[in-house]
Amino acid sequence: MNNPLIIDAHLHIGKVNNFFSSGYSTEELVNSMDRLGISKGCVSSMYAIGPDASKGNQEIVEAVRKYPDRLVGMLCVNPSYKEEVEEQINIHMASGCFQQFKLHPFLHGTDSHHENYEPVYVYAQEHRASILIHTWGERDVSVFSEVASKFREAIFIVGHAGGDIKGIQRAVMEAKKHDNIVLDITSTWNYDGAIEFMVNQVGADRVIFGSDAVFNSQSAALGRVLYSRLTDNEKEKVLGLNMKRILSLRKGAISLKGEH
């Protein structure tokens, strides 16, 4: 490979409890991207996936405005506050700072089929937007698949590709059924051969690189792909070309600058 496009599809800013982090600010995240040759990152706020979506989403607005060529905002909503869900969509999705959604049902004590997530799915369906949803285990993936089958024009990214080994196997099975499902390789550990398994089963076009920084090391996550047994062509797709394509599908999406 010669200077491949790398897009980290799964990033956060903000402090994290009980995890080692080399930094939690926007500047530290971009510095890490610079060191590793990562062109762009799709980012959500720790506040937003947790207790305060409004505050966290505003953090992302500020981050993207500061680094418009490097960061792509992911809008978060909390289904516990029904009125706020539509309000956040209406305020932010036309601002140019957000091109995707990030949902974390686990932190909100629910599942991805919660009725108050519906406005997100409807928007994504109408605008061909992508939604990254945290999953961990077979049940999360099963519920996730039900939603993806209902909203066929939206693009559903399985966060952590299901997480544990049974979750990964289930995520692969569901991705084979639904061509609007994409697998995100982020993980706090690495099953040997997991990336190769995903690519062999669903194709290199539907597997994407992500690190989950600030939770995890970007360099370690990148190494999982670079030192995998994928071909150079497959690595290039996973590292950035697939995410570039996904972002470009959104109707009204802002063009990415400095792409390969």
Whether the model clears a pTM of 0.75, i.e. scores above it, the answer is yes
Query: What is the rounded distance in angstroms from the CA atom of residue 160 to the CA atom of residue 184?
Result: 5
Instruction: Give the ranges where 2-52 is alpha helix by DSSP (H).
Output: 26-36, 46-49
- Identify the burial level of 23 via C-beta atoms within 10 angstroms of its C-beta, where 0-12 means exposed, 13-18 middle and 19 or more buried: middle
The CA-CA-CA angle for residues 222, 44, 65, to 5°, reads 100
Tens digit of pLDDT at every position of the chain (260 positions): 888 999 999 999 987 766 666 667 899 999 999 999 999 999 999 999 988 999 999 999 999 999 999 999 999 999 999 999 999 999 999 888 999 999 999 998 999 999 999 999 999 999 999 999 999 999 999 988 899 999 999 999 999 999 999 999 999 999 999 999 999 999 867 788 999 999 999 999 999 999 998 878 899 999 999 999 999 999 999 999 999 999 998 876 443 333 33
pLDDT score of 21: 63
The Cα–Cα gap between 20 and 214 comes to: 8
Rounded CA-CA distance 260/257 in Å is 9
Q: Give, in order, the Cα–Cα distances in Å from 154 to each of 131, 159, 183, 186.
A: 8, 15, 14, 21
For residue range 166-219, list pLDDT tens digits in order.
Answer: 999 999 999 999 999 999 999 867 788 999 999 999 999 999 999 998 878 899
- How many residues are there in the chain? 260
